[in-house]
């Protein structure tokens, strides 16, 4: 679904720069078997249709939330909010 949306955005706005932030699964954090396969299959579409693709490891987000931000049990929502602050100063 996300790669289809990216393709539609590329077709509708070819003159705009498209940036994507992808959180890749980690065996320590995720428990779904198909997550690594989905990530690999969508990587090709991300690289073809986006101008900038930032790949972030889910385990690294967990470690940042736990060790740096001192959250005892970082939720998925809290971890996914972290890449949003990469451009903040």
Chain segment 42-81, per-residue pLDDT in tens: 888 888 888 988 888 888 888 888 788 788 877 777 776 7
Confidence of residue 12 (pLDDT cuts 50, 70, 90): very high
Report d(CA 36, CA 3) in Å as an integer.
Answer: 16
Query: Does the global pTM surpass 0.85?
Result: no
**23 vs 11, 60, 77, CA distance in Å?**
24, 10, 12
* Phi (first) and psi of residue 17, to 5 degrees: -85, 125
């Amino acid at each position: 679904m996300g790669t289809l949306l990216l393709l539609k955005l590329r077709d509708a706005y070819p003159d705009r720069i498209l940036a994507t932030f992808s959180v890749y699964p980690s065996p320590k954090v995720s428990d779904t078997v198909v997550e690594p396969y989905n990530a690999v299959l969508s990587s090709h579409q991300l690289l073809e249709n986006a101008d900038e693709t930032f790949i972030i490891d889910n385990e690294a987000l967990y470690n940042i939330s736990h060790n740096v931000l001192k959250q005892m049990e970082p939720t998925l929502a809290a971890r996914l909010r972290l890449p949003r602050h990469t451009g903040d100063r």
